[in-house]
């Protein structure tokens, strides 16, 4: 169900010019936290995300378009660009994820926008950033995952690099872009000035690569694909059971000792092959095989009961049906059900993280069509009446 606005960013004005995933996901995050997000879509088909997703019904838009109002403006035309500038004149944050140079071509570059609105925080998301020899190249999330180091280490070593089942390069960058915007808001409280957040997809992926670069720099180690394990971190893997698969993470010394007790083989905890973190890493394959011989004798329910009893970090491999049925998901309302004119209701992930005093909420379902809120937003923000809007529509500007 829809909720009231109790978010920390209530009253903040955001204008989202982005399309597809990275820019719109940043807008979704800010909207969930209470910001008033006005999304500018091209007249006609609107954001291509409206057509993305699996299956007959394209419901990805229902998630990424929530908490937004949609207006249309043809940014390829001078008068359409002027509409955007007027919306940005009193905005707090602008989000765009076009190819570098596009905003400059449209007269929406940072210098011009800051002359109009010095406090505007400009979030720019692109494949390679706004500078450097690759800046003008087209860049999508998968390419950034490759350049940032992700793809090279994901998958089995005897197979080509794999991808994660979601657009992690895009959503990582959107999250970092959101974090940058929030930091810039804090800085603006002191300086009164806005600034530019330059978020590159490949750099956002690089940020989560842990010690990958440092390991090479210090020891010459080039990390390789390792399937379902992290080399040297054991036991931490997915193990087969009599009726499925189960994840166990017991690589700490004390936790491993508890696992051996659960297995009925406490002597393994003092076995020189497994007694220390380093030893377990050196004998990782052998240890995983030993554990799996045991888990294969148990059902998932039986194994989970033991993991809970012995306080071992472990869990089922969840898919969507499991999430909807799980009591932890239900107790924390991690999945919400929103009204939807096409489907009755649509269930989706809630807003995270949870804030105790200013909780994030979902207040609007995704706009049903591009420009759904033209009259509302252009009337409220720019004072345009029905005749003016009809004229803009007749000229193909909205």
Q: Phi first, then psi: what are they for 106, rounded to 5°?
A: -90, 5
Residue 241: Cβ-neighbour burial (10 angstroms; 0-12, 13-18, 19+)? buried
Q: Does 158 qualify as catalytic in the annotation? A: no
Which candidate, 179, 212, 218, 217, places its Cα nearest to that of 197? 179
Q: How far is CA 111 from CA 74, 115, 118, 121, 122, in A?
A: 21, 6, 9, 12, 11
Identify the H or E element spanning 375. helix 374-382
Residue whose structure tokens are 């036991």: 235
Residue whose structure tokens are 């020189």: 272
Which candidate, 225, 227, 239, 243, places its Cα nearest to that of 287? 239
**Which pair of structure tokens corresponds to residue 186?**
């804090």
Cα atoms found within 13 Å of the Cα of residue 388, Cβ hemisphere only: 10
Q: Considering the candidates 47, 170, 198, 288, report the single residue annotated as catalytic.
A: 170
Number of H helices, E strands in the chain: 17, 11
Q: Phi first, then psi: what are they for 326, rounded to 5°?
A: -80, 135
**Which pair of structure tokens corresponds to residue 296?**
């294969």
Beta-carbon contacts of residue 199 (< 8 Å; ≥ 6 apart): 123, 124, 125, 126, 129, 173, 174, 176, 177, 180
**Which pair of structure tokens corresponds to residue 230?**
């992290």
Q: Coil, strand, or helix at residue 148?
A: coil
Beta-carbon contacts of residue 100 (< 8 Å; ≥ 6 apart): 124, 126, 129, 130, 135, 136
| Helix residue spans in 14-130 (DSSP H) | 22-32, 60-64, 78-88, 102-105, 110-116
What residues act catalytically?
170
């Amino acid at each position: 169900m829809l909720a009231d606005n109790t978010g920390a960013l209530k009253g903040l004005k955001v204008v989202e010019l982005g399309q597809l995933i990275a820019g719109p996901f940043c807008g979704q995050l800010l909207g969930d936290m209470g910001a008033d997000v006005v999304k500018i879509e091209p007249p006609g088909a609107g954001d291509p995300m409206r057509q993305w997703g699996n299956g007959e019904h394209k419901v990805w838009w229902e998630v990424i378009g929530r908490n937004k109002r949609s207006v249309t403006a043809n940014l390829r035309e001078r008068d359409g660009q002027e509409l955007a500038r007027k919306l940005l004149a009193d905005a707090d944050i602008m989000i765009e994820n076009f190819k570098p140079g596009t905003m400059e071509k449209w007269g929406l570059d940072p210098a011009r926008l800051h002359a109009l609105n010095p406090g505007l925080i400009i979030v720019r998301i692109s494949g390679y950033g706004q500078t450097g020899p690759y800046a003008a190249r087209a860049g999508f999330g998968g390419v950034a995952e490759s350049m940032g180091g992700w793809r090279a280490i994901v998958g089995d070593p005897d197979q080509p690099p794999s991808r994660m089942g979601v657009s992690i390069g895009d959503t990582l960058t959107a999250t970092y872009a959101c974090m940058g915007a929030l930091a810039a808001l804090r800085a603006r409280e002191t300086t009164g000035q806005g600034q530019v957040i330059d978020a590159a997809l490949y750099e956002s992926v690089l940020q989560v690569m842990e010690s990958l670069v440092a390991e090479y720099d210090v020891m010459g180690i080039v990390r390789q694909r390792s399937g379902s394990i992290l080399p040297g971190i054991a036991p931490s893997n997915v193990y087969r059971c009599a009726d499925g698969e189960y994840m166990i993470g017991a690589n700490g010394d004390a936790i491993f000792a508890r696992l051996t007790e659960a297995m009925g083989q406490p002597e393994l905890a003092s076995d020189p092959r497994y007694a220390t973190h380093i030893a377990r890493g050196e004998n990782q394959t052998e240890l995983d095989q030993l554990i799996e011989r045991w888990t294969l004798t148990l059902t998932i329910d039986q194994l989970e009961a033991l993991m809970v009893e012995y306080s071992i970090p472990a869990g089922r491999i969840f898919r969507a049906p499991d999430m909807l049925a799980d009591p932890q998901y239900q107790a924390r309302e991690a999945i919400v059900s929103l009204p939807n004119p096409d489907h009755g209701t649509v269930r989706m992930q809630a807003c995270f993280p949870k804030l105790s005093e200013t909780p994030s909420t979902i207040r609007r379902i995704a706009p049903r069509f591009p420009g759904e809120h033209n009259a509302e937003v252009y009337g409220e923000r720019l004072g345009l009446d029905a005749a003016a809007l009809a004229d803009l529509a007749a000229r193909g500007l909205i």
